[in-house]
Amino acid sequence: MSAFCGCVVGLMLTRPAPVTFHPLGGYQERKEEKMSNKLFVGGLSWDTDDASLLSAFQPFGEVREAKVITDRDTGRSRGFGFVTFSDRTSAQNAIEAMDGAAIDGRNVRVNEAEDKRRGGGGGGGGGRRGGRF
C-alpha cells in the first residue's frame, strides 16, 4: 500500500511572482506595463520649432517640454521631436487626436516614446594608427 493519501495539504494557488530571468543579472522584478507621458512626434516640417510644437500640443493638457531635435552640426531640424505631458491622460488624448494631423503643413506621426536603449553605438576609431609616412 502506498503512503500517498490522495489529499492535498497546504496547496495555495497564487499568481506567479512578477519576475523575469535576466542572463547577466539573475532574477529581476518585472516593471508593469504603463504608458509614458513622453510622446514621439515624427514627420515634422523643417520649419517646425519648439514653440510651434508646444502650441500644437497645448490644447491636450499641461506640456512639460516640447523639443524638436536638431542636427548638431547644421542646427537644422531632423524632422522629429518629443513632447512630454504632466499626466498620462493628456498624452493619450494627444496621441489619438494628433496622429496623422497636420503641423506646419506636414502630417505627423505621434506615438509613445520608447526608452533610450543603453549600450551599443560607439563606432568610429578608424583611421591610420601608428607607423611612419
Question: Strand locations in the chain, DSSP E?
Answer: 19-22, 26-29, 38-42, 63-70, 77-85, 102-103, 106-107, 109-112
For the stretch 68-107, pLDDT in tens is 999 999 999 999 999 999 999 999 999 999 999 999 999 9
Question: Does residue 96 contact residue 85 with C-beta atoms inside 8 Å?
Answer: no
For residue 61, pLDDT beyond 70? yes
Q: Distance between CA atoms of 53 and 71, rounded to whole angstroms?
A: 17
Q: Among 17-26, 32-41, 56-65, 99-108, which stretch is predicted with the lowest mean pLDDT?
A: 17-26
15 pLDDT above the threshold of 90: no
Percent of the chain residues past pLDDT 70, beyond the cut: 61
> Which pLDDT score is estimated for 116?
74
The CATH class for the domain spanning 38-112 reads alpha beta
Long-range contacts of 92-97 (CB under 8 A, 24+ apart): 92/35, 93/60, 93/61, 94/39, 94/57, 94/60, 94/61, 95/39, 97/60
Nearest alpha carbon to residue 90 among 24, 133, 37, 54:
37
Residue range 45-67: average pLDDT?
Answer: 97
Spatial distance between the Cα atoms of 81 and 111, rounded to a whole number of angstroms: 11
* Rounded-to-10 torsion of CA 7, 10, 16, 19: -130
C-alpha cell at 33: 506595463
Q: Rounded to 5 degrees, what are φ and ψ at 92?
A: -65, -40
Tell me the pLDDT of the chain averaged across its residues: 80
